[in-house]
Amino acid sequence: MRVMRSDLDGSQSETLVQTGEGEDDRSRATRWCVGIAVDLQAGTFIYWTQKGADNAVWGHPARLDRESRRAKRG
């Protein structure tokens, strides 16, 4: 339910995107962030897939601009 980052030793952890909170959201697969990727060439975007139901009807790609901290549904 989160996209996070940290230093390699686990310190300085930070939540970049949070799509849910608590047990109710944890049980809803549509709140899960999966398939993380980083655009190393541009260096400013992080992409992930917002999971949908098992039949893949509601899932969608999303991205975060690391500089502005704004997430966009793709």
User: What is the CA angle 65-71-38, rounded to 5?
Assistant: 50
> Model confidence over 13-66: pLDDT tens digits?
998 888 888 888 888 877 778 888 888 887 778 888 877 767 666 777 888 887
Largest CA distance in the chain: 38
pTM: 0.63
Q: Which of 47, 4, 52 is nearest to 28 (CA)?
A: 52
